[in-house]
Amino acid sequence: MKTTALALSAGDPAGIGPEIIAKAWSALRAEGPSFMVVGDAQLLASAGGGVKVRAVTGPVEAIKVFSQALPVLDIPLQAPVVAGKPSGAHAAQVIRWIETGAGLALSGAVTGLVTAPIAKAPLYDAGFAFPGHTEFLAELTHVGQGQPPHGPVMMLAARDLRATLVTIHMPLSAVPAALSIEAIVNAGRVTVEALRKDFGVAVPRLAVAALNPHAGEGGALGGEEIAIIEPAVRALRELGIQVRGPAPADSLFHAEARATYDAVLCMYHDQALIPVKMLDFWAGVNVTLGLPIVRTSPDHGTGFDIAGRGLARADSLIAAIRLAAEIADRRSIA
């Protein structure tokens, strides 16, 4: 077992987070990677299906007890939890769990942060002003305040597919106006840097998806390819990056196409998430690129509809923990 641990923020306490965390620990306790939950120890003990929980003071103690008990840096909730019923009464603690995990990762006390799913609506009354984890972690780690390239850039990974996003959490109707040459070039540069540093790809190959059907059909089905995406691809190529596109998205995700690139740059949320979840619905991983810390997450939500029923699968969380550890190892070697 390694002498370093990851932090795992517990997510929404009324969701499937406690259950899948307990299942992930049961699967990984013998060989790791080790992790320390940042959350409510009593909640994990009661909602974790009978796993043994140990409140710890930090990651060093967590590593020592990991094979015997689920280690929790205990930051208790201030209100009861009803499985499947999210509540704003938990918001302050949920936010603090994320902040604490990010702080531990920034300080080097842990090697990275894995985040269990949150629901944004219950957090808004507590001052949470971000569309999701990705944007909040960028704020906490002071990313995006300097010269590009910088994150955050969201990547979804499943089997041999890595898909990154130019735009993240926004209505589809807002995507065309949000696209720019600069945004695409920045996302491409961050992706290529991460492929080298975090995934061990010496000479990354990047594919760029078109926005419109048939890649715009020469402007007949939309002008974004001509005005924005093609100039961005040329700019990336001029930077020495191996890149092709814009390519019609409907021909980018089958097995033969995936073999021709190391990551595909997508223009909007579902353009990336649909193929990832079709390829491996249970074990896809969300990776945030361009942060000074390692951060991964399951590629699913809080699962309020099945919370507390013992039905949730931990495959994606386990994959996220393993991938975070792999990335942390590569960064430490580099």
Query: 117-137: per-residue pLDDT in tens?
Result: 999 999 987 888 898 898 899
Whole-number Å distance between alpha carbons of 222 and 94: 42
Task: Give the model's confidence band at 148: pLDDT under 50 very low, under 70 low, under 90 confident, else very high.
Answer: confident
What is residue 263's predicted lDDT score, i.e. its pLDDT? 98
What is residue 11's predicted lDDT score, i.e. its pLDDT? 97
What is residue 93's predicted lDDT score, i.e. its pLDDT? 96
What is residue 265's predicted lDDT score, i.e. its pLDDT? 98
Task: Give the model's confidence band at 17: pLDDT under 50 very low, under 70 low, under 90 confident, else very high.
Answer: very high
| φ, ψ dihedrals at 66, nearest 5° | -60, -40
Average pLDDT (218-241) is 97
Structure tokens belonging to residue 268 = 């909007």
Q: Is the pLDDT of residue 199 over 90?
A: yes
Q: Is the pLDDT of residue 333 over 90?
A: no
Average pLDDT (281-296) is 96
Cα 237-242-243 angle, rounded to 5 deg = 70
What is residue 2's predicted lDDT score, i.e. its pLDDT? 62
Q: Report the range of poorest mean pLDDT among 10-24, 35-49, 147-161, 316-330.
A: 147-161
Q: Is the pLDDT of residue 256 over 70?
A: yes
Tokens 């590593």 locate to 63
Give the CA distances from residue 278 to residues 128, 250, 254, 282, in Å, rounded to whole numbers and listed in that order: 31, 13, 11, 9
- End-to-end Cα, the chain, rounded Å: 21
Per cent of the chain over pLDDT 70 is 98
Residue pair 297/117 in contact by the 8 Å Cβ criterion: yes
Q: Report the range of poorest mean pLDDT among 62-71, 147-156, 293-302.
A: 147-156
